[in-house]
C-alpha cells in the first residue's frame, strides 16, 4: 500500500514570494490533515479536511495561507506571501474514516520550506 505522498520535498524562497505544496493521501482515506512543524517543536495542525469539506481550520493564518481539497482526494496548501517565520516542515497526514478521535494518522515525508 502506497503511503502519503508529498511534493516538493524541499523549497527555498524569498520572503513575500508565494509557494504551494501538494499532498496525495493513502488511497481511500477520507480525512486529510496539514501540519506545520517548526524546528524543535511538535507538529501543529493547520487544517483538517473530511472528504472535500473543512473540519477544522482554526489555526490556519487565513490572511496568507489557503488550502483546498476539491475532489476529496489530493490537496494543495498555499502560502502567499511567505514570511521568515513560515520556515518549517509542512506535513500532510491522512486517516481512514470519519474522525472518531481514535484513528491512526499516517504522515507523509513532509516538505521542508526555507524562507530567506
Partner 1 sequence: QKEVEQNSGPLSVPEGAIASLNCTYSDRGSQSFFWYRQYSGKSPELIMSIYSNGDKEDGRFTAQLNKASQYVSLLIRDSQPSDSATYLCAVNRNQGGKLIFGQGTELSVKP
Q: How many CA atoms lie within 13 A of 85 on its CB side?
A: 3
Of residues 16-55, those binding partner 1 (CB under 8 A): 31, 33, 40-45, 48, 55
- Give the total residue count for the chain: 116
Shorter beta-carbon distance to partner 1: residue 48 or 79: 48
Contact status: 57 vs partner 1 (CB under 8 A): no
Contact status: 91 vs partner 1 (CB under 8 A): yes
Shorter beta-carbon distance to partner 1: residue 75 or 105: 105
Cα 13 from Cα 116, distance rounded (Å): 6
Shorter beta-carbon distance to partner 1: residue 73 or 106: 106
Q: Which three cell numbers stand for residue 113?
A: 520550506
Residues 6+ away with beta carbon under 8 Å from 100: none
CB 33 within 8 A of CB 94: yes
Contact status: 96 vs partner 1 (CB under 8 A): no
With CB under 8 A as the contact rule, the residue among 82, 105, 113, 115 that binds partner 1 is 105
Which residues in this chain contact partner 1 in the complex, by CB under 8 A?
31, 33, 40-45, 48, 55-56, 91, 95, 99-110
Amino acid at each position: 500500500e502506497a503511503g502519503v505522498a508529498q511534493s516538493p520535498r524541499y523549497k527555498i524562497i524569498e520572503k513575500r514570494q508565494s509557494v504551494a505544496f501538494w499532498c496525495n493521501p493513502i488511497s481511500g482515506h477520507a480525512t486529510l490533515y496539514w501540519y506545520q512543524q517548526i524546528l524543535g517543536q511538535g507538529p501543529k495542525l493547520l487544517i483538517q479536511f473530511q472528504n472535500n469539506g473543512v473540519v477544522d481550520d482554526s489555526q490556519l493564518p487565513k490572511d496568507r495561507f489557503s488550502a483546498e481539497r476539491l475532489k476529496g482526494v489530493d490537496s494543495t496548501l498555499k502560502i502567499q506571501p511567505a514570511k521568515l517565520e513560515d520556515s518549517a516542515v509542512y506535513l500532510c497526514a491522512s486517516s481512514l474514516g470519519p474522525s472518531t478521535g481514535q484513528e491512526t494518522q499516517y504522515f507523509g515525508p513532509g516538505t521542508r520550506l526555507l524562507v530567506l
